[in-house]
Structures are given as structure tokens and as C-alpha cells.
């Protein structure tokens, strides 16, 4: 592992360069607006990433939940030397930060998932590859380089297919599995409905499957590493499909078969978990947990941890804010004890945008947070370099915020919840 980076120096580099930051702003909301502008003639991909479920209230609640807690900074403490690294599953990570799994990245940039995986790998931050990625398992694994590789599973109906995907992910060096539970069917998303656009229907999220021998054998085809092109125009894809263009027709039809395998409205049960637990030997985390009872059930069914998440407010509208759920789950003495013993790991996502957000999540009991939309805006605006810029900004903000709070390390924050935070929703 390289010498610890001084993440806080990122701002100084910008000032010395006398040039605005790479993407024009280091503010996530600005990047969202810049992406909207860039995609104004083809708004589907922007609507897809920026939108939430139904009225959008849970997406807003996720952000508001952070405001319910405030950090109480301490002065005159020796925090010149700090360490924002953490250890997860016996591996040292540079920061308590990972990439959330995001499907269909090929709709945002020509390099798709490869750009994000390369940026993650060079930073040494875990990249979570989605089941509905736009590139194959082998391609993403290579792009991660020496960085940690996590794999996210949307649970296929066929056990044979599940076993095939998991064994290929393991063979490609993915060593942590996130099993997403909150998307047995995709939520009601008005923005996607209004633009009549989802990437699945255009063949941008089937590459894990089209490279899979079991899936392709069921369709009487050989596995392929090919992927859909960029730039693309969904109207051209539709027109080609309707006119019977055989290549496009095959891509879209296979993509529809993928949907019929998962996110298809067939809901699984806790009993079904035994198969995934038996099939995946490494750490297994359940993504989408929002209450204490389900965290305990996760433990009882042999999961090694959870990702407290509401999918960035994209699934159940009106759901509890994810940070509020985190606080309730980690206040439970059984969860806390298992975390301390190292037998259960609690990660968090949905709404993380800044360094202070990360400090709050850690103080409330998360061991690492995942970041979703912010890096996608970086990808859409600047490919690999754009993703790198977004993540470096968040890490710099985290390191500086840790110092200004008067703490030296992430574990100090984790152990001192009552000292670090006060409840105050002004």
C-alpha cells in the first residue's frame, strides 16, 4: 500500500493552479445542474440518475435526516496528523468510503463502468460492480486494477444462473457480495415514465448476462464480451428495433430476458437466503436494510453485515430517511456488540454528499459509507477524471472536517457518538 495520502491538499492544488476545478465546480448540486445542461437534448440518462421514486419525498428526507444531527467541534486539540483509513474485512482502506453499485453506466459516458472502476482502483477505494453493469465482470475486474472489488447481486430467479454469476465474480477477484433486497421490482419513477426511458429497455445493462454461459445457453447463443455503443440515441435504438434491425433486436430482447430474471416482481423470502449464503463463501452484506428487526434477521441468517440504504430514495417513496434508520439500527445493543466483536459490519448509503455527512454517519454507527449519484455526475461530465475529481473533493472535505471537529481518526468518531453529535434540527 502506498504512503497515506494527504487528502486535504486537494484544495491547495486547485488554488495553486489558478484554474477552476476540473468539472467547473466541486459542489455536487452544481454537478447535477451541469449534467442536466449537458444532456438537455437527450434527457433520459439525466432523469434516470437524478430522479427518485414517486413524489420524491424520501430523496429529500435522506438529505434532511443529516440536518437532524450537528457536529460539536472541539478546540486546541493536536489534530495536525490525522488518519482517515479504516479496516474492513481484514483489508485497510484509505477512507471510510466506497462506490455504491450503479447499473447501466454506459448511458452516461463512452467508458461506462470502466471509467468509475479505474478511478476507484487508483484511489484504492472499493468499487461495487452492479449486476446490471454495462460491461462484463472480466472487463470491470481488470479496470479495478489493484483496488478492492465488491460485487452487487440482483437476485436472478434461476439458481443455476445465480451460481454461475457468483462463481464468475469470485474467480474475477470480487471478494465482498452486496445482495440488494429493496429492488425485487423497480420503484414507481415518474421521471423515467415521463421520458418513457429506462436503460434496460435499450440494452445498456445486460453485459453481465450476455457474457454468462448459463444465461446465453438458455438463449441458444454463445457468451460475448460486446457492449452497447455510446453515444447513443434512444429514439434511434427504438426505430432500429421496430424496423427489425437484427443486432439491435437481439440486444434489446436479451435485455428484456435479463429483466425477466430479476427486478421482475418475484419477491424472495428469508428462507431463500440459505442458497446465496451457501453459494457465496466470502463476506455477504444485505443491501437495503432499514430497521433493527431486519438487521437481526440478517445476522440470524448468516449475513456478515448490512448496507443501511433506501436505494437513494429510488424505491419506496415515503420511506424513513436512511440516516435515521442507521441511528436506530446501531443504537441496538445486539448490533453494536456484534460490530465491536467484528462479526457484523454496518455500511450506509443514501444521501451522502459531504465530509460532514460522512462524520455524522460514522458517529451514528456506520463503519464505511457508500456514495452513489455524486460520482455518476462526475462520470457523465468527465469520465474517469471526472469521477476522480468528485471523490477527491469528498475525501478532502472529510479530512478537513475531521480536523476542524477536533478528531484525529475515524475510529475516534465511531467510538464517541455522544461527544461528537448533538440532536438539533434547526
Give the binding site for ligand 173 (CB under 6 A): 103-104, 132, 183, 186, 199-200, 205, 263, 311, 314
Question: Of 103, 355, 365, 383, which one interacts with ligand FMN (CB under 6 A)?
Answer: 103
Contact code string over 157-196 relative to ligand FMN, x by CB under 6 A: -----------------------x----------------
Nearest to 357 by CA among 5, 31, 70, 8: 70
Smallest distance, ligand FMN to C-beta of residue 243, A: 29
Smallest distance, ligand 173 to C-beta of residue 362, A: 25
Give CA–CA dist 12/44, Å, rounded.
Answer: 37
Residue 100 lies near ligand FMN (rule: CB under 6 A):
yes
136 C-beta neighbours (distance < 10 Å), count: 24
Q: Tell me how long the chain is.
A: 426
State residue 79 phi and psi, 5-degree precision.
Answer: -115, 25
Which residues are CB-contacts of 299 (< 8 A; sequence separation ≥ 6)?
Answer: 334, 335, 338, 344
25: cell is: 465546480
State residue 178 phi and psi, 5-degree precision.
Answer: -100, 115
Q: Which does 106 bind (CB under 5 to 8 A by kind): ligand 173, ligand FMN, none?
A: none
Q: Is 373 known to sit in a ligand binding site?
A: yes
State residue 85 phi and psi, 5-degree precision.
Answer: -75, 160
Question: Of 116, 309, 324, 405, which one interacts with ligand FMN (CB under 6 A)?
Answer: 309
Q: Which does 151 bind (CB under 5 to 8 A by kind): ligand 173, ligand FMN, none?
A: none
Q: Is 372 known to sit in a ligand binding site?
A: yes
Give CA–CA dist 114/105, Å, rounded.
Answer: 9
Give CA–CA dist 285/270, Å, rounded.
Answer: 14
Name the closest residue to ligand 173 (Cβ): 103
E strand or H helix at 307: strand 305-308
Helix axes 28-38, 373-405, angle to 10 degrees: 160
Q: Count residues binding ligand FMN (CB under 6 A).
A: 23
Nearest to 266 by CA among 395, 363, 157: 157
Smallest distance, ligand FMN to C-beta of residue 56, A: 12
Nearer to ligand 173 among residue 258 and residue 364 (C-beta): 258
Q: Is 154 known to sit in a ligand binding site?
A: yes
Q: Which of 109, 257, 311, 415 is catalytic?
A: 311
Give CA–CA dist 320/294, Å, rounded.
Answer: 14
Residue 262 lies near ligand FMN (rule: CB under 6 A):
no
Radius of gyration over every alpha carbon of the chain, rounded to an integer in angstroms: 21
Nearer to ligand FMN among residue 101 and residue 406 (C-beta): 101
Q: Residue 89 pairs with which residues in a beta bridge?
A: none
Nearer to ligand 173 among residue 93 and residue 133 (C-beta): 133
389: cell is: 475529481
Q: Which does 163 bind (CB under 5 to 8 A by kind): ligand FMN, ligand 173, none?
A: none
In the annotation, is 227 catalytic?
A: no
Per CB under 6 A, contacts with ligand FMN among 341-400 are 349-352, 371-373, 376
> Are 251 and 219 within 8 A, CB to CB?
no
Binding residues for glyoxylate: 154, 189, 311, 314
Would you tell me which residues interact with ligand FMN (CB under 6 A)? 48-49, 100-103, 130, 132, 152, 180, 287, 309, 311-312, 314, 349-352, 371-373, 376
Binding residues for FMN: 101-103, 130, 152, 180, 287, 309, 349-353, 372-373
Binding residues: 101-103, 130, 152, 154, 180, 189, 287, 309, 311, 314, 349-353, 372-373
Active-site amino acid positions: 311
Amino acid at each position: 500500500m502506498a504512503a497515506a495520502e494527504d487528502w486535504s491538499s486537494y484544495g491547495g492544488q486547485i488554488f495553486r493552479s489558478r484554474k477552476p476545478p476540473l468539472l467547473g465546480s466541486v459542489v455536487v448540486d452544481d454537478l447535477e445542474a451541469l449534467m442536466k445542461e449537458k444532456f438537455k437534448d437527450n434527457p433520459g440518462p439525466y432523469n434516470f440518475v437524478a430522479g427518485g421514486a414517486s413524489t420524491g419525498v424520501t430523496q429529500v428526507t435522506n438529505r434532511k435526516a443529516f440536518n437532524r444531527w450537528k457536529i460539536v467541534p472541539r478546540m486546541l486539540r493536536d489534530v495536525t496528523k490525522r488518519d482517515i483509513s479504516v479496516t474492513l474485512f481484514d483489508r485497510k482502506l484509505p477512507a471510510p468510503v466506497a462506490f455504491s453499485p450503479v447499473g447501466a453506466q454506459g448511458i452516461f459516458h463512452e467508458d461506462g463502468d470502466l471509467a468509475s472502476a479505474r478511478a476507484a482502483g487508483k484511489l484504492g477505494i472499493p468499487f461495487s460492480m452492479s449486476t446490471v453493469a454495462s460491461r462484463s465482470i472480466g472487463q470491470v475486474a481488470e479496470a479495478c486494477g489493484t483496488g478492492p472489488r465488491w460485487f452487487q447481486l440482483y437476485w436472478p430467479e434461476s439458481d443455476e444462473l445465480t451460481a454461475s454469476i457468483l462463481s464468475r465474480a469470485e474467480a474475477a477477484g470480487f471478494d465482498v457480495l452486496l445482495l440488494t433486497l429493496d429492488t425485487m421490482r423497480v420503484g414507481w419513477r415518474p421521471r423515467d415514465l415521463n421520458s418513457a426511458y429506462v436503460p434496460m429497455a435499450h440494452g445498456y445493462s445486460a453485459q453481465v448476462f450476455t457474457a454468462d454461459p448459463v444465461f446465453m445457453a438458455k438463449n441458444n447463443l454463445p457468451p460475448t464480451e460486446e457492449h452497447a455503443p455510446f453515444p447513443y440515441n434512444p429514439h434511434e435504438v427504438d426505430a432500429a428495433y421496430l424496423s427489425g434491425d437484427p443486432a439491435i433486436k437481439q440486444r434489446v430482447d436479451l435485455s428484456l430476458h435479463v429483466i425477466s430474471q430479476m427486478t421482475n416482481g418475484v419477491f424472495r423470502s428469508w428462507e431463500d437466503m440459505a442458497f446465496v449464503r451457501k453459494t457465496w463463501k466470502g463476506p455477504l452484506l444485505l443491501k437495503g436494510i432499514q430497521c433493527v428487526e431486519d438487521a437481526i434477521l440478517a445476522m440470524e441468517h448468516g449475513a456478515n453485515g448490512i448496507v443501511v440504504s433506501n436505494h437513494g430514495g429510488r424505491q419506496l417513496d415515503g420511506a424513513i430517511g436512511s440516516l435515521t434508520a442507521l441511528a436506530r439500527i446501531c443504537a441496538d445493543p445486539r448490533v453494536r456488540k456484534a460490530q465491536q466483536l467484528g462479526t457484523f459490519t454496518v455500511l450506509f448509503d443514501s444521501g451522502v454528499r459531504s465530509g460532514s455527512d460522512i462524520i455524522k454517519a460514522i458517529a451514528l454507527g456506520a463503519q464505511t459509507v457508500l456514495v452513489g449519484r455524486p460520482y455518476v455526475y462526475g462520470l457523465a461530465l468527465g469520465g474517469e477524471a471526472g469521477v476522480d475529481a468528485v471523490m477527491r473533493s469528498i475525501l478532502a472535505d472529510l479530512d478537513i472536517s475531521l480536523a476542524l471537529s477536533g478528531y484525529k481518526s475515524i475510529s475516534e468518531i465511531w467510538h464517541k457518538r455522544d461527544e461528537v453529535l448533538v440532536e438539533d434540527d434547526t
